[in-house]
């Protein structure tokens, strides 16, 4: 097909390997300081994988990894607030209205469901995690793609 560039894709095995590596990290991250866990353990792994995959067309893959990582961090937060009253108080401090925070905190669903629920997304968005120091795979990929395009042009 004329006019179309060939693009590299991320193989299924590579995606599975990254997810397994991150799952192992998240299991180790329970009960630890969240900021220290992100900066010392999670960020180096994310940066390494993005550097490894920088030449591939991985924007969608990076978005998926980004969302999955933030969901797992929300899961850690939800498990950390063991009691419904603590969950209510923390969700209200994060900006939810009292009625929504109460319904969310006392919904009796599991941590996995709550970590992907809209109340956790509303309370803990991407800027919250960026402020804690989490590296965004999409942002890192964009930085690398700009860098690589400059190098190809010889500037």
How far is Cα 127 from Cα 40, in angstroms, rounded to an integer? Answer: 19
| pLDDT in the model for residue 51 | 81
Task: Read off the pLDDT of each residue in 6-34 and give the average, rounded to a whole number.
Answer: 82
4 within a domain of the structure (yes/no): no
136 within a domain of the structure (yes/no): yes
What does the pLDDT look like over 111-120, one tens digit per residue? 899 989 989 9
What total number of domains does the chain contain?
1
137 within a domain of the structure (yes/no): yes
Q: Is the pLDDT of residue 87 over 70?
A: yes
20 within a domain of the structure (yes/no): yes
Instruction: Classify burial at 151, counting beta carbons within 10 Å of its beta carbon; exposed 0-12, middle 13-18, buried 19 or more.
Output: exposed
Q: How many CB atoms lie within 10 A of CB 98?
A: 10
Q: How many CB atoms lie within 10 A of CB 113?
A: 12
- For the chain, give the percent of residues with pLDDT over 70: 87
Task: Read off the pLDDT of each residue in 41-48 and give the average, rounded to a whole number.
Answer: 89
What does the pLDDT look like over 14-24, one tens digit per residue? 888 888 999 99
């Amino acid at each position: 097909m004329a006019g179309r560039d060939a693009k590299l894709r991320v193989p299924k095995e590579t995606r599975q390997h990254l997810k397994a590596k991150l799952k192992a990290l998240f299991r180790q991250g329970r009960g630890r300081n969240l900021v220290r866990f992100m900066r010392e353990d999670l960020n180096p792994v994310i940066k390494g994988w993005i550097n490894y995959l920088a030449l591939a067309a991985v924007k969608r893959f990076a978005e998926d990894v980004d969302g999955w990582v933030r969901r797992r961090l929300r899961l850690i937060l939800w498990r950390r607030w063991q009691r419904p009253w603590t969950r209510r108080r923390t969700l209200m401090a994060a900006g939810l209205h009292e009625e929504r925070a109460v319904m969310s905190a006392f919904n009796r669903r599991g941590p996995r469901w709550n970590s992907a629920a809209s109340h956790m997304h509303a309370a803990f968005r991407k800027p919250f995690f960026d402020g804690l120091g989490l590296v965004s795979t999409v942002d890192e990929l964009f930085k690398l793609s700009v860098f690589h395009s400059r190098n190809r042009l010889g500037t």
